[in-house]
Structure 1
Amino acid sequence: MTDLVEQQTAGPPPEAARRITRGLWSPVAASLVALVLTPVAVGIAANGAVLAGRWWDGVDRWLAPAQSVLGAMLLLVVASLAVYVPAAAMIAGAVWGIVPGVVHIAAPDDSYRMLSAVPGLPVDLVRALHSWLSGGVVLLFGVLLFGAGLTAALLRRRLAPDGRS
């Protein structure tokens, strides 16, 4: 009888306590980090791709691959966030890849105008992003990030002891 009383008053099991303390801040913070890092990564990598076309200049010869690698590493960070918060990678992939890709497919003539209307983007970067957008690279990144988040969510749900994540 005392065992039953002790079990009822002992509180939630450690797994449930960890879920409660994690709260809302972790998913929100991870999603914000993913939403900020993704366009930065795509912009840096796209700019590196444009610079790769100007390899006759000694400065651009090393700057282009460095920017491509940096952009790829930042996208890897966003994809890695899916391990902790699958929704972060899914949201970033949808907002910065899938939606712009679908918008470009639906209105290809307006996509350059929409990109050039973004304040603070240099003309070279607008051209680079538009070439990636029209070439499907942005859509590809979005689908891959969304897929990484979806895969992490499904694996987490499958591996959870009680069937929930």
Structure 2
Amino acid sequence: MSLSLLAVVITPVALGIAANGTVTGGRWWDSGDRWSTPAQSVLGAVLLLAVAGLAMYEPAVGVTAGLAWGIAPAVVQIAAPRETYRLISAVPGLPADLARALHTWLSGGVLLVFGVLLAGIGIIAALRGHRLST
């Protein structure tokens, strides 16, 4: 499996885990959820860090993941804001709470920020690698 394909699979999982942490964050009084929320945030962040690390070896990883899971969805949100919730909630097996959290992250610009950061890491890694090789 190529690193880009791996990153394209890991990135939405990481974003979904972190977004699910925001869903459970509203239920902080339950002792199980109290520990689940930060654990999901940390796990999502570690997985995104792994994608950023992969981009250091293959810059296209960061650019691909950032475009696919951050920048492109943000463009769809800007172009057709009424359609994005329908598209997210149509994902098979996605709980309604998580669909709402992902839509909130999308409409609030969180996914755009993650996408720009991942794509930027890839671009910087490519430029740095090019500079080091010359």
What range describes the TM-score normalised by the shorter chain of this pair? Answer: over 0.9
Question: 1:147 and 1:70 mapped to 2: Cα distance?
Answer: 22
Deviation of 1:82 after TM superposition, in Å, equals: 1.1
Question: 2:56 and 2:83 mapped to 1: Cα distance?
Answer: 36
Output the amino acid matched with 1:112.
Answer: Y
Question: 1:54 and 1:125 mapped to 2: Cα distance?
Answer: 14
- Number of matched pairs: 134
Output the amino acid matched with 1:121.
Answer: L
Equivalent residue number for residue 46 of structure 1: 19
Equivalent residue number for residue 3 of structure 1: none
Runs of 4+ in 1 over 6 A off after TM superposition: none
Equivalent residue number for residue 123 of structure 1: 96
Deviation of 1:51 after TM superposition, in Å, equals: 1.1
- Is 1:132 the counterpart of 2:105? The answer is yes
Output the amino acid matched with 1:60.
Answer: D
Question: 2:33 and 2:96 mapped to 1: Cα distance?
Answer: 18
Question: 1:70 and 1:95 mapped to 2: Cα distance?
Answer: 21
Residue 114 of structure 1, aligned match among 87, 94, 101: 87
Residues 82-122 of structure 1 show CA distances to partners (whole Å, capped at 9, x for unaligned) of: 11000011101000100001110111111100111111211
* SS in structure 1 at match of 2:2: helix
Equivalent residue number for residue 39 of structure 2: 66
Output the amino acid matched with 1:141.
Answer: F
- Is 1:55 the counterpart of 2:28? The answer is yes
Equivalent residue number for residue 99 of structure 1: 72
Equivalent residue number for residue 56 of structure 2: 83
Question: 1:107 and 1:135 mapped to 2: Cα distance?
Answer: 14
Residue 157 of structure 1, aligned match among 124, 130, 133: 130
Question: 1:30 and 1:105 mapped to 2: Cα distance?
Answer: 29
* SS in structure 2 at match of 1:56: coil
Question: 2:83 and 2:74 mapped to 1: Cα distance?
Answer: 12
- Matches for 1:24-39 after TM superposition, within 5 Å: 29-39=2-12
TM-score, scaled to structure 1: 0.79
Q: Percent identity?
A: 65
Task: Pick which of 117-126 and 73-82 moved more.
Answer: 117-126
